[in-house]
Structures are given as structure tokens and as C-alpha cells.
């Protein structure tokens, strides 16, 4: 089972041996919590797979906004614990790059709000002779203004992701992470490491400070 809530797309899909059996994607950045588990259950039903039959959970670990990303990470951790299966956290930008055809370096960028983007750059397949290693990240993930990214210096020839149209480059690949991309990245990493979200910056919400003392 592959999950991602790093963008407004709430994604759940079942993949077996590199084949997508079922997928549910709902676009609503304000309802990650309400939509994710129904998507998981619908994807399992369509694939003819019961939750206890899953071998692993793969989840996009961001970068992404705090609230939405946390929904996917917590859900994946809970499923893994309940089912007794490993949980693989992978960079969501890597998952987009993994299924984006590009004859050269690729830029992947998604919306970070505040007029900024989350982004990373990847090398083209010729950099490693198509040896089945998948794309490799050259730099990132970072967060910043789109205009601050040195596209020419990175030698990128195309862009993918929800903010791909901001750079004057050909747009290639999916706008959001796909189940196939998530699983492909997890397969490259092998044994899962600690499940840690890539927030890249602090959440807007902060604990309240001490109350000011009022003297008569």
C-alpha cells in the first residue's frame, strides 16, 4: 500500500510486483484526514486485497505542509503497527522524479505556500547509463522562492510537480506523487529507516507563551 498527503492530492494505491492494481486520488488539501482511510479501503477493495494481506506500507514523507503531511505519516505508522508490516518513508519529490521520463536533468517542485516551493533537482538517465539505479538527487529537498532557483546552473531541461509551470521549462511527468513512484523509491532504499517527516520549516502554529502578569 502506497500513501501520500504531501500535496492537496490525497493518494492511496495498491502495487504488486511493479504493477498498479488500484489507486484512489482525491484533490482536497483541507480534508486529508477525512479522505485518506476511505481511499485506502477503496483501493484495497478494487484490488481484491484485504488489509491483513499487505506486505508493506510506503508513505511520502514530504516535504509538505505540516498538517497534511502528518496525516499520511501517522496513518502509515498506525497501519504498519496494526498489521505488523514494515513502513517505508520516502521523499515525495523523489517519487515524482522516479516516474518522470526526462532526457537530462529534472527539476521537481511542489507548492510550499507563502509564495515558495519545495524543490529538488535530479540527474538524467544518461548520468548512470540506465543501470537500473533510478534517478539520483543532485540537490535538495529545499524550500524557497521559485525565482531564487538557479535553473541554468542546475542544467535542468524539464520540470515536474504541482509548480512545474513556474520555470519556463517543458513540463513532464505527474504533478503529484504516484503509488508506482513511491514504491519504486522504497525498493531502491531497501530496509526502511526511521519514519521522519520532511517539514523543512517550522509549523505556523506555536504553543502559547506565558501569560503576562497584570499588576494592580
Q: Give pLDDT, residue 52.
A: 97
Tell me the CATH class for 93-166. Answer: alpha beta
Mean pLDDT within 197-203: 80
Q: Give pLDDT, residue 193.
A: 84
Q: Read out DSSP for 23-88?
A: EEEEE-TT-HHHHHHHHHHHHHHHHT--GGG---EEEE--S--HHHHHHHHHHHHHHHHHHT--EE
Residues 129, 103: Cα–Cα separation, whole Å: 12
Q: Give pLDDT, residue 210.
A: 62
Cell of 162: 504541482
According to DSSP, the β-strands at 19-27 and 9-16 are: antiparallel
Cell 532504499 -> residue:
189
Cell of 164: 512545474
Mean pLDDT within 158-165: 97
Q: Give pLDDT, residue 28.
A: 86
Of 170, 141, 152, 158, which is closest to residue 104 (Cα–Cα)?
Answer: 158
Residues 60, 90 contacting (CB under 8 angstroms): yes
- CATH code at 2-92+176-189: 3.30.420.40
pLDDT single digits (tens) 70-125:
999 999 999 999 999 999 999 999 999 999 989 899 999 999 999 999 999 999 75
Mean pLDDT within 185-209: 78
Higher pLDDT, 173 or 23: 23
pLDDT single digits (tens) 32-68:
999 999 999 999 999 999 999 999 999 999 999 998 9
Q: Give pLDDT, residue 205.
A: 46
Of 179, 177, 170, which is closest to residue 105 (Cα–Cα)?
Answer: 170
Q: What is the DSSP letter of 213?
A: P
Cell of 30: 483541507
Answer whether 2-92+176-189 and 93-166 agree in fold.
yes
Q: What is the DSSP letter of 8?
A: S
**Range scoring the smallest mean pLDDT among 84-98, 149-163, 197-211:** 197-211
Residues 210, 28: Cα–Cα separation, whole Å: 36
Q: Give pLDDT, residue 29.
A: 77
Query: Where do the domains of the chain lie?
Result: 2-92+176-189, 93-166
Residues 134, 142: Cα–Cα separation, whole Å: 21
Task: State the pTM of this model.
Answer: 0.89
Higher pLDDT, 204 or 185: 185
The three-class DSSP label of residue 57 is strand
Amino acid at each position: 500500500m502506497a500513501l501520500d498527503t504531501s500535496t492537496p492530492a490525497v493518494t492511496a494505491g495498491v502495487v504488486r510486483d511493479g504493477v498498479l492494481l488500484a489507486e484512489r486520488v482525491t484533490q482536497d488539501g483541507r480534508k486529508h484526514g477525512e479522505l485518506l482511510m476511505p481511499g485506502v479501503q477503496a483501493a484495497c477493495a478494487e484490488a481484491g486485497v484485504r488489509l491483513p494481506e499487505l506486505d508493506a506500507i510506503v508513505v511520502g514523507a514530504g516535504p509538505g505542509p505540516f498538517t497534511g503531511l502528518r496525516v499520511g505519516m501517522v496513518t502509515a505508522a498506525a497501519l504498519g503497527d496494526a498489521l505488523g508490516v514494515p513502513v517505508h518513508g520516502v521523499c515525495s519529490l523523489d517519487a515524482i522524479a522516479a516516474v518522470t521520463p526526462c532526457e537530462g536533468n529534472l527539476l521537481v517542485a511542489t507548492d510550499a505556500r507563502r509564495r515558495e516551493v519545495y524543490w529538488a533537482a535530479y540527474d538524467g538517465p544518461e548520468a548512470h547509463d540506465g543501470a537500473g539505479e533510478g534517478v539520483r538527487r543532485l540537490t535538495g529537498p529545499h524550500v524557497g522562492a521559485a525565482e531564487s532557483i538557479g535553473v541554468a546552473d542546475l542544467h535542468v531541461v524539464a520540470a515536474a510537480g504541482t509548480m512545474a509551470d513556474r520555470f519556463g521549462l517543458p513540463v513532464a511527468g505527474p504533478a503529484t506523487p504516484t503509488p508506482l513512484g513511491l514504491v519504486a523509491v522504497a525498493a531502491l532504499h531497501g530496509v526502511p529507516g526511521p519514519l521522519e517527516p520532511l517539514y523543512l520549516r517550522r509549523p505556523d502554529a506555536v504553543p502559547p507563551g506565558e501569560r503576562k502578569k497584570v499588576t494592580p
